[in-house]
Amino acid sequence: MKRVLNIRFWSLLATMPVILAAPAQALAQAQVEPAPVETRPKEPRRGFSMSADAGFAFRQVYGVPIYAGEFELAFGGAFKSVSVYGTFGVLYGQTSAGLTTTRLGIGSNVLFPISNRVRLGVEPRSTILFIQRVTQDNSIGGIGFGMYAAGTFDIVDLDPWVLYAGVRLGADAYLGAEPLALLWGGTLSLGARY
């Protein structure tokens, strides 16, 4: 009896590597590499496009800082290598002395896609500036022309809408003022584009 148990023990011990290796071989056979999925970058949207953005703006004229909010609405078209918009914008805020400042602008926006998420371009515009007077009820200001460099970074793609962060830097020149009034600065904004 002892000899039978001894033989069974040694035969069981001899088959242990085979018993232990079987699940490992089955697991290795079950792990099949998935077929590669071909992903192509998303094509830029083409055709009618519009956007709206709002943000914090800082401007300065004759050394006087202006803190404001800026809103811009744009309608136009997106093509393969460029987007072209007509724009209308409002800047509303105060000088550091508390004088109400308003700037209305109309112009264009030309953006070039640098990557799937980044667009860089220019924004020429015509503007009207109003700054409240301290001594009278009316405003001072004038008609000007400006040029801004613009950039956007797409944060979230909510097909067909895109949420983006934007920056604009540039200046408006008001030609009737003596000396030349240069309203310069920038805007950090958040927006949505269709």
Q: What does the pLDDT look like over 8-56, one tens digit per residue? A: 555 555 555 555 555 556 555 656 566 666 655 566 567 999 999 999 9
Question: How far is Cα 79 from Cα 1, in angstroms, rounded to an integer?
Answer: 90
157 in a domain, yes or no? yes
57 in a domain, yes or no? yes
pLDDT at 96: 93
Across 42-180, the runs of DSSP E, i.e. the strands, are 47-61, 64-78, 83-95, 100-113, 118-132, 139-158, 161-174
62 in a domain, yes or no? yes
18 in a domain, yes or no? no
Question: How far is Cα 12 from Cα 166, in angstroms, rounded to an integer?
Answer: 73
Decide if pLDDT at 177 tops 80: no
76 in a domain, yes or no? yes
54 in a domain, yes or no? yes
How much is the mean pLDDT over the chain? 86
Decide if pLDDT at 139 tops 60: yes
**The CATH number of the domain where 180 resides is what?**
2.40.160.20
3 in a domain, yes or no? no
Domain boundaries, position 94: 47-193
In 35-52, which positions are buried (b, 16+ CB within 10 angstroms) versus exposed (e)?
eeeeeeeeeebeeebebe
- Structural domain count of the chain: 1
Find out whether 101 and 93 touch, Cβ atoms under 8 Å: yes
21 in a domain, yes or no? no
